[in-house]
Structure 1
């Protein structure tokens, strides 16, 4: 259940097992690929190359893609258990984590902004971009994506797959300065080296690394010595500290050792100030303490980019603190800590929103290994046509792999008309129309 990389990798590993299998990938959206399609910034097409490998899995004869099927609405866990010997939950993480500071309710979620500029069909097509100075809280790659998209001009993004409403929104924005805040020092920044270097590739955006808080103590040096990528990040940041301004119209400011403590608003609830406290790291584990030195920053918007969070699913246990489905190596556990027969989990909803594609593959391999070791044929001997009939009876407009291929071709054709690789279809209605072409779901 879930058509992102985690679910597709699990399907791929299952088809390579000695045990003959057939796999249905059920996905809430009409299109597959999850966060690769709806979580990667449009100006990072290189990262989306993984889609080619995922496409090959969907094309396997043992695999069926059934899109536009929402768990808990169109199908329940007990329904799935009637049709399948095992169910693997791979619904990922799409919600923003909370900050836990006063005024947080007036902030914006990075995940929500990413969904908007990636044209997710279930989010509004407008986004407030009328600020001049904004703050982004976080030092991961998502924070950099958000900062970069906020700072670049709309026309720069027109070479990507963004649809007209995203281009119009970005073109009309009034933002000149984006301030990115990190609670810890530069030695602990979580940017990847490539993402960081790309930050200043725009002809319209200047990167400013502020020297205040840019300290690397002995603990930081020990941390860098153990992480090659951190050393590369620090080298890039160091080369930018104190650099002479070049007069580009937009700026991304990087501030280190500044912990957000409050978001201040006016009487109408509009953000006027981000309040931060200077920090230091007294111990080798990188944890920070406040120094009592407080700074007020004149900003009109604040974005939370401190990580994603999974959400509960009907009929399944959920650990609210860790924001995952409780599991033992992928075996879903009930409230008593006992495995729920035939029910498994993989991806971010299994381990939390950490790790890259390589981690997702190994994660799926662990889950599938346990699934194959546990599984005996317990489901009724039903054919794929029976599954199709179940959804047809409930009038679910299922998008099959062939339907996705039609939608894919439609987006590529839209792009070709504008000399782009693709233009993403932004509404569920239009996606379903492009996918159907008047065809029966049984064609898939």
Structure 2
């Protein structure tokens, strides 16, 4: 089901910038912007990701089944005679006003093919004549869009098809199953953009935590990511420490009924393990007023049976009895999953901020390493959904195109 923008639209266009499918129009610069009755979401290309709802300052973007019939009708009517757009008109390139990169083609390496890397590639294709080589240790493009989105959100995963089209462009060379390092890329490219993401789960730092599961390994397991290890998820009660979107995804999936699980693309062993969970306790160290989950993620679980929210609870230890809290309470459970966020992994040869889990950079340019750039979570920290990477990638590419980058020998 697509999202709809209601009559309360303020037309500030924040939603346009984060929409991963370029399906909100008229956008700034297009005919009708500022004169129509707000903005409209194309139901033909919307992937139901909720990015527009999460950023809308006036709560005007909402699922179609929660909007008025009039708003749904107006939204559909706007696109009745307009062709579907996905922002992939990559061959209608017009030279940008960037003198340094006006003569081409230039050679660019993008390391990592998740949303950050693929949006970066699209920006290069649309804004320059650059030839892009994509590297990824996995056999397919998509990253967390393919292996991080919950399996009960198959529509959101459709954006992977867009990324596959980018990888198939004539000016793109795709190198799957390939790990590269900074040293071997030196001198071969005009610019190297690192889009390695942040896949390391942050730790609680409590006794017994080594026996618990992390969100990163559970998500990789139920999404079938190549190389993911099997997870021993035991029920019927599971504690999830964390109040972000990933924590809510885990809780929603583990408490899904048999009929919903049966309709998902899940390995039999995963489906069997999830079916053995009947209750999930979501533990938050802070209150609900500062919870990290988005409104759209909360709407999916607010009426779910089997999910219990516990706020202002600080974990102190984990063992066979359950989770012991700082005030001495023991919450009995069969499994513990930590979902308190992710952090980046150092890239050998580049500086690294251990506290923030990012590569130090200025608008994407790596500090102290000319010719190297970053985008996505390894640039800004592990926050923001798929669509946020669009604006992040645009900033990095603009930095690359305007930088005084020497030609390789």
* TM-score (normalizing by structure 2): 0.69
The aligned counterpart of 2:73 is none
The aligned counterpart of 1:344 is 373
Deviation, 1:186, is 1.7
2:194 to 89, 92, 95: 89
Cα-to-partner distance string for 1:101-153 (whole Å, 9 max, x where unaligned): 232222210111000001011112x3212332221001111001111222224
Supply the distance in 2 between the matched residues of 1:272 and 1:198 (Cα, whole angstroms). Answer: 30
1:255 to 306, 310, 316: 310
Do 2:191 and 2:405's aligned partners in 1 also have CA atoms closer than 8 Å? no
1:275 to 293, 299, 324: 324
The aligned counterpart of 1:120 is 225
2:341 to 301, 304, 307: 307
The aligned counterpart of 1:6 is 116
The aligned counterpart of 1:373 is 402
The aligned counterpart of 1:27 is 136
Structure 2 unmatched runs, 5+:
1-110
Cα distance change of structure 1 residues 169 and 302 upon mapping to structure 2, 3 Å threshold: closer
Supply the distance in 2 between the matched residues of 1:194 and 1:156 (Cα, whole angstroms). Answer: 19
Do 2:370 and 2:405's aligned partners in 1 also have CA atoms closer than 8 Å? no
Cα distance change of structure 1 residues 154 and 28 upon mapping to structure 2, 3 Å threshold: farther
Superposed, which structure 2 residues align to 1:185-334 within 5 Å?
Answer: 185-199=287-301, 206=305, 251-263=306-318, 265=319, 271-277=320-326, 293-333=327-367
Supply the distance in 2 between the matched residues of 1:54 and 1:182 (Cα, whole angstroms). Answer: 35
Structure 1 unmatched runs, 5+:
207-250, 266-270, 278-292, 381-444
Do 1:154 and 1:168's aligned partners in 2 also have CA atoms closer than 8 Å? no
Secondary structure of the equivalent of 2:300? helix
Deviation, 1:165, is 3.8
Tell me which protein shows more helix as a share of its residues. 1
The aligned counterpart of 1:44 is 153
Deviation, 1:377, is 5.1
Cα distance change of structure 1 residues 165 and 66 upon mapping to structure 2, 3 Å threshold: farther
Supply the distance in 2 between the matched residues of 1:8 and 1:59 (Cα, whole angstroms). Answer: 11
Do 2:206 and 2:316's aligned partners in 1 also have CA atoms closer than 8 Å? yes
The aligned counterpart of 1:170 is 274
Cα-to-partner distance string for 1:188-229 (whole Å, 9 max, x where unaligned): 22222222222267xxx51xxxxxxxxxxxxxxxxxxxxxxx
Secondary structure of the equivalent of 1:199? coil
RMSD (CA atoms) = 2.0
Secondary structure of the equivalent of 2:387? helix
Supply the distance in 2 between the matched residues of 1:154 and 1:122 (Cα, whole angstroms). Answer: 27
The aligned counterpart of 1:136 is 240
The aligned counterpart of 2:166 is 57
Cα distance change of structure 1 residues 154 and 37 upon mapping to structure 2, 3 Å threshold: farther
Deviation, 1:361, is 1.2
Higher relative contact order (CA 8 A, sep 6+): 1
The aligned counterpart of 1:16 is 126
Cα-to-partner distance string for 1:234-276 (whole Å, 9 max, x where unaligned): xxxxxxxxxxxxxxxxx1111122222222x2xxxxx212122
Supply the distance in 2 between the matched residues of 1:379 and 1:314 (Cα, whole angstroms). Answer: 21
Q: Which has the larger radius of gyration?
A: 1
| Number of residues of Structure 1 aligned to a counterpart in Structure 2 | 299
